[in-house]
Amino acid sequence: MKLKEEKELQAISEEYEKALQSFNKKNYAKALEAFKKLVDAYKDSEFYSVQEIQTRAKAYMSIAHAQTHPVKIQLESAQDYVWEGVYQLNAGKVDQALEHFIHAEKNNYRDAYIYFLMAAAYLRKEDTANALRCVEKCLKKDEKYKVIVYNEPDFEPLQQNPDFLKLVE
């Protein structure tokens, strides 16, 4: 390795490490600036080893940008609220998920699936009464959900509940 390449590789490696430390500490704004500076400073490098680190920096820069500039999703239809609720539920944000499900229900989304989802969300909050109420609504809308609800791992906490067992018989 030539001396010039070695010096350039050492310099970019140090800058990359500092930027990566900010990124790992979730200080995305600082990391974004550090990665931008690094990418700009080494954009004309003739050395493959330096270009490789610069390319990695571009990937992290993209992620840091996404973290500092989150996309705002415009929810319009009741179905949009259902899917956003599913996303929030999967992300562990149960209260936000329930808000979206309730909004969808208020906007005439009354498919059995919404009540299934709401029951799962209430169970995560350990709100058995509301979970059972939603299971009942789900099964009134579509009796075929009995098998699904009974076998769903999310509803396992209700497996010994007599009210639940009456609903899924």
pLDDT in tens for each of the 169 residues of the chain? 678 888 888 999 999 999 999 999 999 999 999 999 999 998 888 888 889 998 999 999 999 998 888 877 789 999 999 999 999 999 999 999 999 999 999 998 889 999 999 999 999 999 999 999 999 999 999 999 999 999 999 999 999 999 999 998 8
CA pair distance 99, 15, nearest whole angstrom: 44
pLDDT value for 1: 60
The residue type found at 109 is: Y
Helix (H) / strand (E) element for 130: namely: helix 128-141
4, containing H or E segment = helix 3-24
Q: Could you list the beta-strand ranges (E) of the chain.
A: none
The four Cα atoms 30, 34, 37, 42 give a dihedral, to 10 degrees, of -170
Domains by residue range for the chain, with CATH? 3-68 (1.20.58), 78-168 (1.25.40.10)
State the Cα–Cα distance between residues 86 and 114, nearest whole angstrom: 10
